[in-house]
Amino acid sequence: MKRWPALLILAPACTTLADDRQGLLGSPTWEEQFPSLASLTAGPLDSPNAGDDTFVKIRAGGMFVTADGEITVGDMIGGATNVLDFEDTLGQDTDDISPIGSITVAIPIIDLSIELGYMGNYKFDGSTTNTVSFDDQEFSGTIDSYEDLTMYELNVLYELAELKYITIYVGGGARVIDAEASITGDVMGSTTTETEEAIIPIPVGSIGANFDLGRNIAIRGNLSGMYFGDYGTVIDAKAELGYDFHRLFGVFIGYRFMNVESTEFDVEVEATMQGLYGGGEVRF
C-alpha cells in the first residue's frame, strides 16, 4: 500500500477513496467480509486507500497570514535604529491573504513522493514618523515602507512505517524565501526611495504522519526545520483535516506556523508567519 505523505504552507488533504477506507472510526467493508469477491473486482485504483495509489496530486487554495518580525538592511547611521520591527518601528499592517498551491508526484515503487509548492506572496506596508537607518542611509519625516515575502517549498518524503491507522513519513527538502524591502522618506532634505531584495534558500529535514479516522476523513501533520547559524534557520509546522468526496478529489483545512531567520544576505530577516489555510485537490 502506497500512501501520500503529510505536507503543510504545506500538508496534503486526504488522498483516499471515500467509499473504501475503514479507518479508526469505520466498520468493516464488504471487501473485508468477502475478500474473494473483492479480489475479482479490484483494479489499480480500487484497493483500500485507493486515492493513495494515484500518481499526481494538484491542490489549490488560500492562506490567511498574521506576521510579526523585523528586517535589517545596512548599518546604523546617525544613531537611528537599523533593526526595523514591522509594526513597532515601521507601523505596518501585518495581515494578508494569498493563493497557495502545489503539485505532488508519487513514486510508489520506492515509497517516495516529491512535492513542489507555492506557499504564497504576502505584502506588509505602512508608514511611520520614526527616524530609521536603511541601506546605510538615515530616513526621517513621514516614512512609507513595505516588505514583500514570496515563499516556495520542496518536500521529498519517504514512507517509513505503517502502523494500522497511522503512517509515518521522513524526508527533507527546502524552503525558499524571496524577500523584498523598500523605504521612502527624507534623506538630507531629499525624498528618497531605497529597495533591497534577497533570495534565501534553506534546506530542511521533515517528519510527518497520517492518521485515518474513517473511510473519507483523516488528520495529517508535518514538522520541518533546520539550523544553519547566520545563514538561516527555519521551523515550519502544520496540521490539517482532510475530507474526500471521491478517490479523485477532496478538500482540506489546516493551520500553519513558520519562523524564518537569516542574517547572511543583504536583507536580514527574522519573521514569524502563521494562520489558517484551506482548499481543494484533485488526483489522477
pLDDT category of residue 7 using cuts at 50, 70 and 90: very low
Percent of the chain with pLDDT over 70: 81
Min mean pLDDT across 41-45, 211-215, 260-264 is at 41-45
Q: What's the domain range around 124? A: 30-283
Q: Which three cell numbers stand for residue 136?
A: 546605510
Bigger pLDDT: 49 vs 271: 271
pLDDT of residue 271: 94
Q: In Å, how far from its chain's centre is CA 272?
A: 13
Check whether 10 has a pLDDT greater than 70: no
Q: Could you report the per-residue pLDDT of 198-223, keeping only the tens digit for each?
A: 999 999 999 999 999 888 899 999 99
Residue 15 lies in a domain: no
Convert the pLDDT of each residue in 153-169 to its tens digit.
Answer: 999 999 999 888 899 99
CATH number at residue 95: 2.40.128.90
For residue 179, pLDDT beyond 80: yes
What domain count does the chain have?
Answer: 1
Mean per-residue pLDDT of the chain: 84
Whether 18 is covered by a domain: the verdict is no
Is there a domain that residue 270 lies in?
yes
For residue 13, being part of any structural domain is answered with no
Residue 8 has pLDDT above 60, yes or no: no
Give the model's confidence band at 143: pLDDT under 50 very low, under 70 low, under 90 confident, else very high. very high
pLDDT at 37: 40
Which position has the higher pLDDT, 15 or 284?
Answer: 284
**E strands present in the chain:** 56-72, 83-85, 92-93, 95-107, 112-128, 132-134, 137-163, 166-187, 190-212, 217-227, 233-246, 249-262, 268-283
Establish if 10 belongs to a structural domain.
no
Q: Is residue 137 part of a domain?
A: yes
> Three cell numbers at 238?
502544520
CB 256 within 8 A of CB 238: yes
Is 119 contained in some domain? yes
Residue 184, pLDDT above cutoff 80: yes
Alpha-carbon distance values, 258 to 82, 178, 190, 223, 239 (Å): 24, 15, 38, 10, 12
Query: Which pLDDT does position 53 carry in this prediction?
Result: 54
Is residue 99 situated within a structural domain?
yes
